[in-house]
Amino acid sequence: MNRAAVCMLLAGALVLGCAPGPGQTDAGWGALRNGDVVLFRHAEAPGIGDPPGMRLDDCSTQRNLDDTGRKQARRIGERFRERGIAVSTVLTSEWCRARDTATLAFPAIKARVDSAFNSLFSDRSREPEQSERARALLLAWRGPGVLVVTTHQANISALTGVAPASGEGVVMRSRQGALAVVGTLPTDGQ
């Protein structure tokens, strides 16, 4: 491989936050520690985007978790409890599917809604400002325990370069004033 190709690969890795590749998902559970952040894409909610006329104050107008998604959300919390990983704070988007994921996964923790994690899917013009607000919140986290955020694929991709599946988590850590991806948490509980 020539020098230009190596430089392009390295630049791509920096842009993507050195996102983990296939087979590296176990590294997320093994690397997860006090003070880390996990960005979860909400659990399974069939469809793409939201229906026309969607309102944040009315879940019946939104795309919501189905039975599979509700089971998946509960399993997220079970995985943390089985591993003895302390989650002290949960933040969520205002969208019902993200709030429901947080509530089902971590019923003992009162999830706080934060608009910095609202869906960017239908309005990418907000991405730079909203991502910067989200990044500042995540960089400020030091614990105790783990901060869990339930949000949306577009938001996670904007922050990490990773496009997670429904219910998949991306483990991040603050390193020298920047967020680094240290692994992913698979959706199947393994």
**31-89 confidence digits (pLDDT tens):** 899 999 999 999 999 998 888 899 999 999 999 999 999 999 999 999 999 999 999 99
Other beta carbons less than 10 A from residue 94's beta carbon:
14
Tens of pLDDT, residue by residue over 123-176, are 778 888 999 999 999 999 988 999 999 999 999 999 999 999 999 999 999 888
List the 37-41 sheet strands across, edge first: 112-113, 87-92, 146-151, 37-41, 169-175, 178-185
**Between residues 126 and 13, the one the model is more confident about:** 126
- Which amino acid would we find at residue 34? N
Is the model's pLDDT at 8 over the cut of 70?
Answer: no
Is 23 a residue whose pLDDT tops 70?
no
Give the mean pLDDT of 9-33: 53
pLDDT of residue 20: 40
Cα separation of the two ends of the chain:
36
What confidence tier does 110 reach under pLDDT thresholds 50, 70, 90?
A: very high
> For residue 174, what is the enclosing H or E element?
strand 169-175
- DSSP class of residue 179 equals E
Q: What pLDDT does 126 receive?
A: 80
CB 117 within 8 A of CB 159: no
C-beta of residue 87 within 8 angstroms of C-beta of residue 76:
no
Residue 145 and residue 86: Cα distance in Å, rounded? 5
Asked if pLDDT for residue 7 goes beyond 90, the answer is no
Question: Does residue 186 or residue 98 have the better pLDDT?
Answer: 98
- Among 113, 172, 88, which residue's Cα sits nearest to residue 138? 172
pTM given for the model: 0.83
Dihedral sign for Cα atoms in the order 136, 139, 143, 149:
positive
The pLDDT value given to residue 19:
42
Q: What is the pLDDT of residue 28?
A: 81
Sign of the dihedral through C-alpha 115, 119, 123, 128: positive
| CA-based radius of gyration for the chain | 16
Identify which of 189, 183, 139, 145 has the alpha carbon closest to the alpha carbon of residue 167: 189
Return the residue matching tokens 């603050």: 174
